[in-house]
Structure 1
């Protein structure tokens, strides 16, 4: 496993610099003074519950201080905060969640937001908790959506936000782009899927455009419920050198990606396939793509009985680390060598288009001897922020 995963990071400086969420449980008087003196705003704070005893249970820290007092102190010194509530069924959901959101909203605009996140449990967890059922997730979506309408009316912003997992777990429709108030919290998992789908729409418009003849046919036949509009490629825009590809992702995002890829195949007449990778290393309950270990990808793509495409496309977030390695120290080059296929990394369907056309700069070839490009993006790396 990556060395940095063994470090439990709760450093307020990384919170200010990179948006790491911290608990504020380990600060000395000098730390508080530095925050005020250096105007380290905004900070990102893991609250989980505003009730003191419930928060101590969530953090498994019997000495955790009262969080509302700390947030008020920050406010008095001109420091704003984004907060998050990682919700565990039977612990800090229901009435506790409602109380937490209400009390945090009372501190707006010093507390800028409250992001609601479902708990993620590895197979190694020891505390008897469980994940949300689809019905429970649907209840959370409906409840927070109701609060958002109230806050939009009283505060001018939605204030309480849901990460994408809630919608995917419950199979609820994703909100529109406007519901995310500018995607400021996207790095915390809020709005990434909506942004992905919006980007796919732009790719269709800009690189998979409909010809004028087809548009006219569609307009003429629309009233008769004729065939849906078909698109044709603009050769000057997209000239694929790979006709088949395997896209690997985690179980949570796989249904969404399969729908997009089916549409892509229909538009392009190419043959892209989506492989759902089970996280055997951390446990099947960990379903996000960014936490997939490289060895699980290699083993499952090698043994799933389906032929691999000419190129394998993986989530860039798997390797979003200064050393360009997955959780288990595997690099994209090692995956390429193990599978004997070029491996391209993608955040968006535009990256997939670039990979198929041979112009994705994050493509690694089996015969290479070293990584040719850094994978990590500016702003810190993804995984260690949230563990």
Structure 2
């Protein structure tokens, strides 16, 4: 029989919990006599200066601990499961869902689709609101869980029902107004699907966003990702380069309207629209602090500007040349960002010819050629496409291709598997300008930190370039 309470898996050294002698294996039952439902109850109730913890130890004895502490001071308890409850599973069958377009036989965690407001607050996941009860909404408002990221898609209720294939999808939009009226800030997302929520439907949605102002802080528009695994799914087409340019032009009047009236452009097209259409990337000022970076909005501009600053700093120091290795480095990326990346790292070779650079954009045979972002490149595709090529001394791979905190690709192969297959040394690089230079140096420090975990369930595809 499942025990009540929340299992404590570890206790932080030097923490209040350790001082009290609370041990792993015990269970938290309540704080101030209130039963803890999940992490938000715990965080909210544990903030106060004077609290009473009710703990069930491993001998099934119940203990009350009276605690006096600083407001907001952590107790040092670590629990089984980050949410302290089950994840809310997605109840939709979205026409644009990337997870439904994945091949069989992959790691089970890659197929899990969450739709959990708690993860929206904690990790930035986007939620559709379709599985939220009135109690869920009330808790968010009570705890002031802000911001909340919402997968809006369209404000046409009937169309939203059709796109999410959930009869509650249209009515669920009412929760957005409840949130903004309660002072909860909202970030929105539209996965743009040709023939569904584009064209006149997009106009309708962008016009009617005003009802949520000023609580709506940003809205990203990203093109749907279409893999080769769509058998049995509704037909979807990707946007051509010309159509991507048309979307950019379509949203600009709305951006200017919101800027004039509310002081924010509000609406941001993802980098793919600019890269695919050949439209110049906007200056950093137009991204207004990059609120939608995790959705692939402004990542290219950020990379360009960071590299420019890092390059100028590096080249202004006469001793910098001594840090660079006399070697050839081949940068591996997706085809979306290939030309931009080449234009950046080639400047290093032009300045320091002894440090040679090359950029190779990998064709995505695993998911299909229409998927061009680096975050969805697999090790098998890298090996297959590089085994007959001369790539120099080092391969440089971005962290976005790897599982969070590990050296594992989407296809479960490791960095070492590529090194063995290609007989090459590999260096891992973060997606920022400074790292593009540091990876070429003798004092390079290995990294394995992925910016956006690919096992974070989402309706769109990975937005890492």
Q: TM-score range by the shorter chain?
A: 0.7 to 0.9
Secondary structure in 2 aligned to 1:344? strand
User: CA 1:322 to 1:32, structure 2 compared with 1: closer, same or farther past 3 Å?
Assistant: farther
Q: 2:345 aligns with which of 236, 261, 264?
A: 261
Shift of 1:60: 2.5
> Is 1:239 the equivalent of 2:328?
no
Do the aligned residues in 1 keep the contact of 2:345 with 2:436 (CA within 8 Å)? Answer: no
Greater strand fraction, Structure 1 or Structure 2: 2
Of stretches 29-38 and 279-288 in structure 1, the one that deviates more from structure 2 is 29-38
What is the match of residue 330 of structure 1?
413
Structure 2: gaps spanning 5 or more residues = 1-105, 460-465
Q: How does 1:179-218 map to 2 (within 5 A)?
A: 179-209=286-316
Pair 1:278–1:48, CA change in 2 (3 A)? same
**1:339-350 correspondence to structure 2 within 5 Å:** 339-346=422-429, 347-350=431-434
Give the Cα–Cα distance (whole angstroms) in 1 for the partners of residues 172 and 350 of structure 2.
52
Q: Which residue of 2 aligns with 1:226?
A: none
| Aligned-partner SS, 1:103 | helix
Contact preservation (8 Å) 1:351, 1:360? no
Matched position secondary structure for 1:356: coil
Largest Rg, 1 or 2: 2
Q: Which of 191, 194, 198 is the matching residue for 1:93?
A: 198
Deviation track 1:321-360 (CA, whole Å, cap 9, x = no partner) reads: 2444221122323322332222112213422322221333
The corresponding residue for 2:372 is 287
Equivalent pairs, count: 350
Q: Kindly report which structure 2 residues correspond to 1:68-107, keeping only aligned pairs within 5 A, or say none.
A: 68-107=173-212
Residue 173 (1) aligns with residue 280 (2): yes
SS of the equivalent of 2:323 reads: coil
Judged with a 3 Å threshold, the aligned counterparts in structure 2 of structure 1 residues 336 and 375 are, in CA distance, closer, same or farther, namely farther
Greater CA drift, 318-327 or 41-50 = 318-327
Q: TM-score, normalised by structure 2?
A: 0.72
Tell me whether 1:23 sits opposite 2:99 in the alignment: no
- CA-based RMSD of the aligned residues comes to 1.9
2:12 maps to none
Q: Which is worse superposed, 96-105 or 13-22? A: 96-105
1:152 CA displacement? 0.8
Q: Report the TM-score when normalising by structure 1.
A: 0.85
Q: Is 2:458 aligned against 1:351? A: no
* Per-residue deviation, 1:284: 0.7
- Mapped to 2, the partners of 1:39 and 1:374 lie a distance apart of 34
Provide the C-alpha distance between the structure 1 equivalents of 2:206 and 2:157, rounded to a whole number of angstroms: 14
Is the aligned partner of 1:157 residue 2:264? yes
* CA deviation profile, 1:137-190 (whole Å, cap 9, x unmatched): 101111222221221101100011111111001110010010001112211111
Distance 2:214 2:119 in 1: 22
- Alignment counterpart, residue 56 of structure 1, candidates 158, 161, 170: 161
Q: Which SS does the other structure have where 1:82 is aligned?
A: strand
1:381 counterpart = 2:465: no
Give the Å deviation of 1:91: 0.8
Name which of structure 1's ranges 325-334 and 173-182 shifts more when overlaid on structure 2.
325-334
Q: Secondary structure at the match of 2:212?
A: coil
Q: Name the residue aligned to 1:119.
A: 224
What CA distance in whole angstroms lies between the structure 2 residues aligned with 1:127 and 1:51?
19
